[in-house]
């Protein structure tokens, strides 16, 4: 079937749909029979709901996202009153149609609405340094060992989400890329980080901690040497890996949590990442909600220890994170699930596009470096508006 025509017709029809990166290309989900808008009351019912499966179909799943605030509520962390755009705290869809797409996504864009946009940042360099100093003090006092400062870039815009996603998949394809197109919002993401991959009793997570900008001199082998020799990056990575191992150990059988890959480099359009892979075998009678509560929000985009660090972040941040550092993915009716961490993403809602990024503060971090790192992380997304 003609993928270009297929995507063009679907996008122009006004139907809601989701595209998610798969091992062979992309999966397209549409014809939604249910749309569940989550809140802190119904999330328990949603996650504990038992499914009656007689014959398994490839659409026997719910696919969607948990927002950052909802995940905090789930583990008993309160968020003070913040500036809020009133995006739902989480939305999941029940698809009735799934189509496998090729690796090379494209569609016929008949209306070109691209134009250069000016993005406003919610925390300028001076204010960032002030927060940075405050958190460094908290590290010295032992309240946290590592903490991520979030900056948000916003612009007024109406975007063609499919055009953006097709172009993004060509220039910066990431293993957890996805897009959601609904009537009143869209999300375009090139997230690189898998948080949960559960198949049967086996579960894995792939923490990313460590970023360096690409240039003509910084190749993959040099990036690996940079990470290995950089005390700050190594310390940050070790802390996050230890925390993710501890999170898995809460739900896995003793002795089964193992590091399968340790400190390897992954390459993206504008940067290199420092990555590890951890696997474990789940204890008996572990439920979906136990897994979500143990693993979310993902530690690599929060800091550690998780709870005390979340409390510090939430007291400091004046704007709701919305989707950022939440999780997108699916839960199959047989209990298998796959979820990423929502980073490197554009949220378009009520005519505003927002892109968030965060960099880690440890005892020997540099404020200027971390502030600049946030821009490196969002550059590929901002470039789509040019």
pLDDT at 339: 98
Which of 31-40, 265-274, 344-353 is the least confident region?
A: 265-274
Place of tokens 């968030």: 356
pLDDT at 194: 94
Domain ranges in the chain are: 3-108+118-385
Contact 325, 193 (CB under 8 A): no
Across the range 242-252, mean pLDDT stands at 95
Share of the chain above pLDDT 70, in %: 96
* 212 confidence band (pLDDT: 50, 70, 90): confident
Spatial neighbors of 121 by CB under 8 A, at least 6 apart, are 151, 152, 153
* 66 confidence band (pLDDT: 50, 70, 90): very high
Contact 317, 303 (CB under 8 A): no
- Which residues on neighbouring strands pair with residue 354, listed in sequence order? 154, 347
pTM for the structure as a whole: 0.92
- For residue 119, what is the DSSP state? P
Residue 233 has pLDDT above 70, yes or no: yes
pLDDT at 114: 57
Contact 385, 115 (CB under 8 A): yes
Residues 63 and 176: their CA atoms lie apart, in Å, by 14
At the fourth CATH level, the homologous superfamily of domain 3-108+118-385 is: Anthranilate synthase (3.60.120.10)
What is the DSSP secondary-structure string of 244-309?
Answer: HHHHHHTTB-TT--EEEEEEEEEE-SSEEEEEEEEEEEBPTT--HHHHHHHH-S-GGGTEESHHHH
Place of tokens 């062979």: 24
What is the token pair recorded at 267?
Answer: 């390459």
Across the range 183-210, mean pLDDT stands at 94
Residue 55 has pLDDT above 70, yes or no: no
Contact 195, 341 (CB under 8 A): yes
Contact 363, 139 (CB under 8 A): yes
Query: What average pLDDT is seen over the chain?
Result: 90
Across the range 157-179, mean pLDDT stands at 91
pLDDT at 48: 85
Residues 340 and 326: their CA atoms lie apart, in Å, by 8
Residue 54 has pLDDT above 70, yes or no: no
* 381 confidence band (pLDDT: 50, 70, 90): very high
Q: Which residue has the higher pLDDT, 48 or 204?
A: 204
Residue 273 has pLDDT above 70, yes or no: yes
Residue 113 has pLDDT above 60, yes or no: no
CA 379 to chain centroid, in Å, comes to 16
What is the token pair recorded at 303?
Answer: 């800091």
């Amino acid at each position: 079937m003609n993928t270009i025509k297929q995507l063009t017709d679907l996008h122009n029809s006004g139907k809601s749909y989701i595209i998610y990166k798969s091992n062979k290309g992309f999966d397209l989900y549409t014809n939604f029979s249910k749309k569940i808008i989550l809140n802190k009351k119904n999330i328990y019912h949603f996650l504990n709901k038992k499914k009656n499966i007689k014959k398994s179909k490839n659409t026997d799943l719910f696919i969607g996202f948990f927002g950052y605030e909802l995940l905090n509520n789930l583990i008993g962390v309160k968020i003070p009153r913040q500036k809020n755009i009133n995006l739902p705290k989480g939305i999941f869809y029940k698809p009735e149609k799934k189509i496998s797409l090729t690796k090379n996504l494209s569609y016929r864009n008949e209306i070109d609405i691209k134009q250069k946009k000016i993005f406003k940042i919610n925390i300028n360099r001076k204010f960032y340094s002030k927060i940075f100093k405050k958190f460094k003090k908290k590290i010295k006092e032992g309240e946290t060992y590592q903490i991520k400062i979030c900056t948000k870039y916003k612009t007024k815009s109406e975007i063609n989400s499919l055009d953006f996603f097709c172009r993004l998949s060509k220039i910066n394809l990431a293993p957890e890329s996805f897009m959601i197109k609904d009537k009143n919002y869209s999300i375009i993401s090139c997230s690189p980080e898998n948080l949960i991959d559960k198949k049967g009793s086996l579960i894995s997570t792939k923490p990313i901690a460590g970023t360096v900008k690409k240039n003509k001199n910084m190749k993959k082998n040099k990036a690996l040497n940079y990470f290995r020799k950089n005390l700050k990056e190594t310390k940050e990575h070790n802390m996050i890996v230890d925390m993710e191992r501890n999170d898995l150990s809460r739900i896995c059988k003793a002795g089964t949590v193992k590091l399968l890959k340790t400190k390897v480099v992954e390459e993206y359009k504008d940067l290199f990442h420092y990555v590890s892979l951890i696997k474990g075998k789940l204890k008996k009678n572990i439920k979906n909600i136990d897994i979500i509560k143990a693993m979310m929000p993902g530690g690599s985009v929060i800091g550690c220890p998780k709870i005390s660090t979340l409390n510090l972040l939430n007291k400091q941040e004046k704007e709701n994170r919305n989707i950022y550092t939440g999780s997108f993915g699916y839960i199959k009716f047989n209990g298998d699930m796959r979820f990423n961490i929502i980073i490197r993403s554009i949220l378009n809602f009520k005519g505003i596009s927002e892109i968030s990024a965060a960099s880690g503060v440890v005892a020997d971090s540099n404020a200027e470096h971390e502030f600049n790192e946030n821009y490196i992380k969002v550059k590929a997304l901002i470039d789509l508006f040019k």
